[in-house]
A and B are shown apart, each in its own frame.
Chain A
Amino acid sequence: AQTVTQSQPEMSVQEAETVTLSCTYDTSESDYYLFWYKQPPSRQMILVIRQEAYKQQNATENRFSVNFQKAAKSFSLKISDSQLGDAAMYFCAYRNDGTASKLTFGTGTRLQVTL
């Protein structure tokens, strides 16, 4: 079974600074997808960024980018120019390739953004 580990329960960053959230996963599959989801307080989960395992290039979405290290099974999220609205729980998630498949989530990292 696949597992996802987020070893940082909480992180803090000052506004306009950069922060990196860590995620490692375990799988025996070669083709899969990785995701970062954001869950603001009392609001629904939204997709931040996704990465296909077969792509060597790291995904980027505006201020959000990932460092995908397939051999190390590591998938970190970098948030640049942090904003107050970035404060939320961030979940790393894994999904097998192929037909539709469930997401396996980590336990999350709570990000605080300070002035």
Chain B
Amino acid sequence: DTGVSQDPRHKITKRGQNVTFRCDPISEHNRLYWYRQTLGQGPEFLTYFQNEAQLEKSRLLSDRFSAERPKGSFSTLEIQRTEQGDSAMYLCASSSQGWGTDTQYFGPGTRLTVL
């Protein structure tokens, strides 16, 4: 078990460009979450998948954001036409469906800087 991994760890882009991030959850975790964390704040929920189904989206997830989890394993988060306000740490977490607290385990994050 190698934990949740995210790629890339850092991304610098120019305003207006599209970016895509990848998250690989802990193997056999069927739930996957995306959060965004800005400087000095706690993470804020963006969206959540159970297997390949996207079950919840935050109002923070504007139409420029899209997330997929095509085979119920890894997930991608794409931001189109990036804006400076998109600069943040994007965190992925995964958890396993089952009895109990459904604890979420976090990846190291992708830090996005939009110039």
Minimum Cβ distance to chain B for residue A109 (Å): 10
The answer to whether B101 touches A50 (Cβ under 8 A) is yes
Complex Cα gap A4–B43 (Å): 12
- Selected contact of B56 from candidates A91, A102, A106, CB within 8 Å: A102
Interface membership of B25, Cβ < 8 A: no
Count chain B residues whose beta carbon lies closer than 8 angstroms to a beta carbon of A: 28
- List, in ascending order, chain B residues with CB within 8 A of A107's CB: 40-42
Mask: chain B, 77-98; 1 = CB below 8 Å from A; 0 = not: 0000000000000010101010
Complex Cα gap A33–B91 (Å): 21
The answer to whether B33 touches A102 (Cβ under 8 A) is yes
Minimum Cβ distance to chain B for residue A70 (Å): 16
Tally of A-B residue pairs with Cβ under 8 A? 54
Interface membership of A47, Cβ < 8 A: yes
- Selected contact of B91 from candidates A4, A45, A95, A100, CB within 8 Å: A45
Indicate whether A102 sits within 8 Å of B45 (C-beta atoms), given known contacts A45-B91, A107-B40: yes
- Selected contact of A46 from candidates B55, B91, B95, B106, CB within 8 Å: B106
In the complex, the chain A residue whose C-beta lies closest to that of B49 is: A100
Which residues between 94 and 115 of chain B lie within 8 Å of chain A, taking CB atoms? 95, 97, 101-109
Complex Cα gap A101–B33 (Å): 9
Count chain A residues whose beta carbon lies closer than 8 angstroms to a beta carbon of B: 23
Complex Cα gap A56–B22 (Å): 40
The answer to whether A100 touches B44 (Cβ under 8 A) is no
The answer to whether B106 touches A100 (Cβ under 8 A) is no
The answer to whether B41 touches A44 (Cβ under 8 A) is no
Interface membership of B48, Cβ < 8 A: yes
- Which 4 residue pairs spanning A and B have beta carbons closest together? A105-B42, A102-B45, A45-B106, A44-B108
Instruction: Given A100-B102, A102-B45, output 5 extra A-B contacts at Cβ < 8 Å.
Output: A33-B101, A47-B105, A50-B103, A95-B101, A100-B31
Query: Which B residues are closer than 8 A to A by beta carbons?
Result: 4, 31, 33, 35, 40-45, 48, 50, 55-56, 58, 91, 93, 95, 97, 101-109
